[in-house]
Amino acid sequence: MKPDNLVRDMLWHNDGHEITLRINKSELEIIEIKCPNSESGDCWDSTHGCLVEWYVSRYGMECNAGSCPASEKILLCWTIIGDSRNLDAAQLWFMPTTDETFAAWLTATK
């Protein structure tokens, strides 16, 4: 599968997840992950809680597949590939909603 088809074939969730960032010397730190869902929604797992919080707290910006202008708070779209019941065998990706290419694609698919 070509990479552009991969993005198109994923189910992307634009449900209000947000990260707060801080620059500490030369390091970009994620200091907060906000989930808009409270024990519900597509991100919620009864064992691990919010999947977005679970992945981003463990893997940080390694889950990021996009780019955007520098900002303290970034709204995210997210998708998960693989079996979300086996988190070690799955992968969550997020894209900033302000990523120009992704935002244009997301608008066109609505």
Indicate whether 25 belongs to any domain: yes
Indicate whether 39 belongs to any domain: yes
Indicate whether 105 belongs to any domain: no
Q: How far apart are CA 19 and CA 61, in angstroms?
A: 10
The answer to whether residue 36 scores a pLDDT higher than 70 is yes
* Percent of the chain whose pLDDT exceeds 70: 92
Structure tokens given for 31: 């200091």
pLDDT tens for 45-80 read: 999 999 999 999 999 999 999 999 888 999 999 999
Residue 43 DSSP code:
T
Which residues form the domain of 38?
3-99
pLDDT tens for 79-98 read: 999 888 889 899 999 999 99
Domain count for the chain: 1
